[in-house]
Amino acid sequence: MSSWLGRNPVLGIAAAAVGVAAAAAAGVAADRATRYRAAMTALETPELLDIVPDEEHIVLTDDGVPLHVEIDLPHPDDAAAAAVGTVRGDHPENLPTVVLTHGYCLSLRCWTYQRRAFRDAGFKVISWDQRGHGRSGRGSTESYVIDRLGADLHAVIAQFAPGDDLVLIGHSMGGMTIMAFGEQYPEILRDRVTGVAFVGTSPGGLTLANGGRLATIARTLLERLGPSVLTPLSKRPDVFGTIRRVGKDVELFLVEQNSFASPVPRSVVRYTADILLGTPLDVINGYLKTFDGFDKRPVLAQFRHAMVLVFNGRQDILTPPAHSELIVEAIPGAEHVLVNDAGHVIMLEHPDLLNGHLIDLIEHSARAHADDVPPDPGPRVRKVVTDVAKARRLRRMERQADEIVRAGRGAKPGKSTKQAAPKAPAQREKRSRGA
């Protein structure tokens, strides 16, 4: 294999890229690595990440692409239901169906924490894989455009929530899909959509971070190799798979660096990497062109009839907060929440914080819709929040990790050092500002 790679410059470059990334991963300071390992261990839970849906379906689009759909039916948890019961008021029968739309190079699996929370709070939840992603069919390369995805979302809604009130939640490219849906089906948006959440997304109009690439590993590969290399690689999945297996630790490192801005359990990093790296290379390459000319800013005003939440990580290096600012500026009354120490894949990094805001959106928008109260058109102040519960856990972890580091150096236990806090979030915030 190695001699064959040497004769093939394209694949040789690909192998070299893995080597460069490996060197970067190996260069992480030992103390920082120790603290991060301790953090990941402290944050681990025995809970299985994947959720078992109540129903699985296939919906066929008008161009013949099978879309994989999963439905979670309400399983009200007493505590969760009590927490939101005061907001439901006199309209429990008017709760909307929640539709989750994932981003580029992800799949419906990325919503696992949200699906549990919504199901336990008593909501029906529809999740689906966008074409080319997860368990959905691929479609033609020409169909990898945002407007086509808006029509796909309509096909899912028409099949599985034909008369329901709706709350639409989209992350990254999924938010763009919702914008396209609103442009194509304004009557549904006006009459049936009670709430919308745009999570880590962009309306266009700004250069997407680092050359317009939204994927994590895909972005890194493209920066090093370029589309001209990805195309021939996509025709040799056996070779690319070999490179992937050799560089598994490198992949995890790159996923962590690009997706998160605070420590997360190692199982979550692996879970995210499994989703991202399961996207076929020809799909990654095929979607890139759709981001270059994407601009849905003129469409955003149509969302004024719904209650809108715009949610973003302050250290998101793929769709930085400047992108979410554009959405808020265009939709009167939209609520803007920025989260400290949060990267792009925020639904897996700070799930409890996000879930609380989303459930508030679902409940309040349903109540307002039932009472025929329009959204408040007044401007709202941007809120910057911190995941306090996670921050406390991390502070405890940092003290424990500091003891481990000092013990390794032969220092006396109990003395503090000046290197207690991981440096990654600050470094990533600096990188975000430079994007």
The DSSP result for 373-395, as a single string, is PPPP-S----EEE--HHHHHHHH
Report how far residue 194's alpha carbon sits from residue 96's, in angstroms, rounded to the nearest whole number.
Answer: 8
CATH architecture of 55-210+289-388: 3-Layer(aba) Sandwich (3.40)
Contacts of 33 (CB under 8 A, 6+ apart): none
Question: In the structure, what pLDDT confidence band is assigned to residue 416 with cuts at 50, 70 and 90?
Answer: very low
The pLDDT, as a whole number, for residue 266 is 85
Question: In the structure, what pLDDT confidence band is assigned to residue 150 with cuts at 50, 70 and 90?
Answer: very high
Contact 130, 136 (CB under 8 A): yes
pLDDT-wise least confident of 77-86, 154-163, 171-180, 419-428: 419-428
Nearest Cα residue to 341 out of 311, 310, 315: 315
Question: In the structure, what pLDDT confidence band is assigned to residue 41 with cuts at 50, 70 and 90?
Answer: low
pTM for the predicted model, two decimal places: 0.76
Question: In the structure, what pLDDT confidence band is assigned to residue 422 with cuts at 50, 70 and 90?
Answer: very low
| Amino acid at position 185, single letter | Y
Answer whether residue 303 shows pLDDT above 70. Answer: yes
Q: Would you list the domain boundaries of the chain? A: 55-210+289-388
The pLDDT, as a whole number, for residue 424 is 41
Contacts of 234 (CB under 8 A, 6+ apart): 240, 280, 281, 282, 285
Q: Which residue has the higher pLDDT, 7 or 189?
A: 189
The pLDDT, as a whole number, for residue 263 is 85
Strand order in the sheet with 307-313: 55-60, 66-72, 125-128, 97-101, 166-171, 193-199, 307-313, 335-339, 383-385
Structure tokens at 391: 């921050």
pLDDT-wise least confident of 11-15, 92-96, 118-122: 11-15
Q: What percent of the chain has pLDDT over 70?
A: 65
Per residue in 344-374, pLDDT tens?
999 999 999 999 999 999 999 999 998 888 8
> Which 8-state DSSP code applies to residue 125?
E
Please state, rounded to an integer, the average pLDDT across all residues of the chain.
78
